[in-house]
Structure 1
Amino acid sequence: MNRARFLRILLCTGAVSLFLAPASVTAAGQASASKPWDEHVLTRDFEFSDLAKADKETIDELIAFGQRLFEGKFTRADGVGRPEATQAIVPTKRRRPVPQMFQRLPGLDANACASCHNEPVIGGAGSFTANVFVSEGFESADFDTTDPQFSNERGTNALQGAGLIELLAREMTADLRAQRAEAAAKARATGSEVSAALETKGVSFGTITVKPDGTIDVSQLEGIDYDLTLRPFGQKGVFASLRQFSVNALNHHHGIQAVERFGSQWTGSNDFDGDEHPDELSPGQVSAIVAWQATLPAPTRKTALPDVWAEAAAIGEATFTEIGCAACHKPALPLESLVFQDPNPFENAGTLRPSDVEAPIRIDLGTLEWVKTLPKDEEGRTLVPLFGDLKRHRIADAARETLGNELLGQRFVARDVFITAELWGIGSTAPYGHRGDITDLGDIIEAHGGEATDARKAYSALPDEDKENVIAFLRSLEIAE
């Protein structure tokens, strides 16, 4: 492996070829890394072009190093800090120098991913004390206040099963775009407007109308962006991939900048954040942290339950469906392919894309023992038991404001709209809600409004025993320790 981190990735933009600047481990860093007391986390690199044709042993090394990056506590020697840059998704300079490295509100607010993602295991959720503060997203004000005019407070989501979630989103995106293309072709051929209902894996995303000239009326779309890309990560459903999520989070929380977003290709500088550490995180290193997250085992169900709990959970699961909760929290979605490709084929500019590399990394999740235990449908597709639909919904209204009382939108998503939370693992991830400030499962159900009003009213009308059965069912969905 090339420990000097020299990485060249050909970026095809028309007839112009651009090269990402290399991320470098200094000689001092290499010397220190050989000592048992070394504090560095970024102690090695992977040549991306090698990973695309790597054998299983090398992919296993990549995943293992990704775990080190997730758990390791980044240091100044790794490039921690962003004195001249904000937390924004788009590289944005601060209006004034940062007074101190760690500020808790606009960040830095952690020096390890596992500082927040740690309950009940590394990669899991986080307690209320681990909440973060996020701005609108694209640009970021320099704020040092909890005033909701400047930021939204967010709890920590669990990452277990995230690789399967991303694969589902990719297949659903491809389905929806194919339906759009079919409608456009029909409109051109007939010379008439064509309306098409968009649905994939049993989830409806509304309707589009295509005119013969190719213009598309998207006013009847539901729960997805106009580009028909499912973005399953983040509580508002705004990140399409673990790679994008990781690049954003590493800058926001740790001040570690990925070359593919903050390097000279996009910013004209190899030290955009002004911390005197150029080219801090290479594409190969980002792929390591992505690979580890993508292979995290999916949540399961509690086993060896006492008879009284097992009976209550079975009744509660049936009641959960009967009262309408499963309309959004769908018990399972079918997955065609288990091959995880990095980078994501639907990635945005500013994050590594397939066109930026000769070939992507491919990890067959189907070889993992925990994936082999998942059920299959009659067509042989893997059933992913997420209890979700990867769709955004309005879940607050005037009668129930708790889940929509923010003042800032995020990535053009309305304040009262959130992606359906996957409930697998919910028995291990208290407290609840996007701020992690609701302590009881019954309370979070009662907080639902908007599109969830009918289901919430049905739950509210249940006898106490039936409500307890629903809670027994939800508490049986766990992240295994």
Structure 2
Amino acid sequence: MIRPIGLSASGLALMLLLPQAVLADSDLPPWSERALTEDVDLDALAASEEDPIAVLQPLGEKLFKAKFTTLDGAGRPDATGAIVPTKVRRKSHLAFQRLAGMDANACASCHNEPVTGGAGAFTANVFVSEGFESADFDTIDPQFSNERNTNAIQGAGLIELLAREMTADLRSQRQAVLTKARASGQPETVALETKGVAFGTLTAGPDGTLDVSGIEGIDDDLTLRPFSQKGVFTSLRQFTVNAMNDHHGMQASERFGADWTGSDDFDGDGHTDELSPGQISALVAWQATLAAPTRKQDLPDIWQTAAKEGETLFGEIGCASCHIPALPLESLTFQDPGPFDTAGTLRQSDVGMPLSYDLGTLDWVKALPRDAEGRVLVPLFGDLKRHKIADAKNDTFGNELLAQRFVARDVFITAELWGIGSTAPYGHRGDLTTLDEVILAHGGEAAGSRKAYAALGENERQSIIAFLRSLEIAE
């Protein structure tokens, strides 16, 4: 029996999702194979006194684990997996297609190691392309797509909050240099830096023009996009809307609905408005509140000693210049939709009031260290910046042939290392079996650190491995 969840005393917040083809919930048999049975009225929830985390988290977990069926609208016979709604040029006769998709019917079928929301084995790899070409290709030739391993999403809410603050800071610096150039009547240059991470330089002319040629590791609009291995998704919401279509053929109305495509069944599978804004919000809430990775407890003395030495060496050989141990976070308030969600994703202007989650109420957040200013120190071992990590001498990470969202094929966002002890195999393709292999695969901007690592003695290298293997996703 389908039931509404989390109703407040006033009856606000939640209601059943019942597409036109479905009768009242009492008419559905208890063995129904539908996965989508509940929805959230976002405006009612925002106006109520309900804790949005308590309301949305359980539904988000249920949706993340759900195995979507054709009764829910799984499949996209007329649409590609592209982030921009795109019709297929020739249809596949296959319902599931491991290469061009749809390639899964549950989020948890790939994000499952060592826990739900975690990483995935090589067998769960996906093939990423912009999806503008045929949806029917049956080769792993890299000229058609880039093969990617599954990222873990633990701690993703804090990652997005860091990116939001850094974006706002960089844009404030842009405005300041524009104001300075207008006042001085001559070009002015600012060194872009936020939370200790440098993003090159920006020059403003007195006429309001901007020279963006000196910007490094971020798009020219100064928006940090912390999600995906290339760093091309701004928010968990954007990531979720895209993944639901790409991997499951489940299309969110906020991108694929009539307002943007002129159709409420863009993928032509006979199901309209397959995912509501409320259901996307539930998925976002669950991901945003996943506990951040931590460190292994109760290690034997020999491991503790080695890990402590390894962490010191990790910094000394330069790895921590990109894999920064911790970044400070000012605010723990997570709004959904977020301030940088744009067209094709529900925006703050589309709702009466965005939902607001206080991540500071979560026990695992309370346990995180703080600096002298009271800011939470997010122990991500990353910098949210893109880097070139391949070169002619070491092209292991330069094996992709297709650029993604205009990011060069040998450029990737710094992988956050928290939890790396739980997420083997390694590398963006998941084809490196040991941490030693993945460190030695670094080239480009990381070549110096890789050479320094390679020059260490065996015991010193093993201590770095001991340190990295102590960073885990708790089970």
Tell me the distance in 2 between the aligned counterparts of 1:445 and 1:369. Answer: 34
CA contact (8 A) 2:52 2:355 kept: no
Map 1:399-478 → 2, pairs under 5 A: 399-478=393-472
CA contact (8 A) 1:25 1:43 kept: no
Aligned to 1:272: 266
**Corresponding position: 1:381 with 2:375:** yes
Aligned to 2:110: 116
Tell me the distance in 2 between the aligned counterparts of 1:421 and 1:355. Answer: 32
Tell me the distance in 2 between the aligned counterparts of 1:405 and 1:314. Answer: 34
Instruction: Show CA shifts across 1:372-418 (max 9, x none).
Output: 00000000000000000000000000001010111100000000000
**Corresponding position: 1:333 with 2:327:** yes
Task: Please identify, of 32-41 and 309-318, the stretch whose mean Cα deviation from structure 2 is larger.
Answer: 32-41
Aligned to 1:50: 44
The count of residues paired between Structure 1 and Structure 2 equals 462
C-alpha displacement at 1:34, in angstroms?
A: 5.4
Tell me the distance in 1 between the aligned counterparts of 2:28 and 2:356. Answer: 31
Change (3 A) 1:97 1:255: same
Of 308, 313, 319, 2:307 maps to: 313
Map 1:123-134 → 2, pairs under 5 A: 123-134=117-128
**Corresponding position: 1:139 with 2:136:** no
Aligned to 1:236: 230
Structure 2: which 5+ residue stretches go unaligned? 5-15
Map 1:166-315 → 2, pairs under 5 A: 166-315=160-309
Aligned to 1:352: 346
Instruction: Show CA shifts across 1:44-96 (max 9, x none).
Output: 11111122234345531211000000001001111000000000000000012
Amino acid at match of 1:63: Q
CA contact (8 A) 2:420 2:472 kept: yes
Change (3 A) 1:34 1:371: farther
Instruction: Show CA shifts across 1:174-226 (max 9, x none).
Output: 00000000000111111110100000000000000000111100101000000
Q: Name the SS of the counterpart of 1:340 in structure 2.
A: strand
**Corresponding position: 1:155 with 2:188:** no
Aligned to 1:391: 385
Tell me the distance in 2 between the aligned counterparts of 1:216 and 1:360. Answer: 32
CA contact (8 A) 1:84 1:272 kept: yes
Q: Name the SS of the counterpart of 2:147 in structure 1.
A: strand
C-alpha displacement at 1:355, in angstroms?
A: 1.3
Structure 1: which 5+ residue stretches go unaligned? 4-21
Instruction: Show CA shifts across 1:125-182 (max 9, x none).
Output: 00000000011x2734423321111100000000000000000000000000000000
CA contact (8 A) 1:141 1:150 kept: no
**Corresponding position: 1:70 with 2:64:** yes
Change (3 A) 1:383 1:455: same
Tell me the distance in 1 between the aligned counterparts of 2:3 and 2:255. Answer: 22
Tell me the distance in 2 between the aligned counterparts of 1:73 and 1:362. Answer: 28
Instruction: Show CA shifts across 1:216-251 (max 9, x none).
Output: 001010000000000000000000100000000000
Change (3 A) 1:219 1:141: farther
Tell me the distance in 1 between the aligned counterparts of 2:221 and 2:301. Answer: 49
CA contact (8 A) 1:117 1:125 kept: yes
Aligned to 2:11: none
Change (3 A) 1:106 1:33: farther
The TM-score normalised by the length of structure 2 is 0.95
**Corresponding position: 1:363 with 2:363:** no
Identity of aligned residues (%): 68
Aligned to 1:12: none
The TM-score normalised by the length of structure 1 is 0.94
Q: Name the SS of the counterpart of 1:303 in structure 2.
A: coil
C-alpha displacement at 1:26, in angstroms?
A: 4.1
Q: Name the SS of the counterpart of 1:199 in structure 2.
A: strand
Q: Name the SS of the counterpart of 1:245 in structure 2.
A: helix
Tell me the distance in 1 between the aligned counterparts of 2:313 and 2:377. Answer: 21
Tell me the distance in 1 between the aligned counterparts of 2:454 and 2:282. Answer: 46
CA contact (8 A) 1:52 1:359 kept: yes
Tell me the distance in 2 between the aligned counterparts of 1:432 and 1:55. Answer: 44
Q: Name the SS of the counterpart of 2:192 in structure 1.
A: strand
* Root-mean-square deviation over aligned CA pairs: 1.6
Tell me the distance in 2 between the aligned counterparts of 1:146 and 1:190. Answer: 56
Amino acid at match of 1:211: G
Amino acid at match of 2:282: A
**Corresponding position: 1:83 with 2:77:** yes
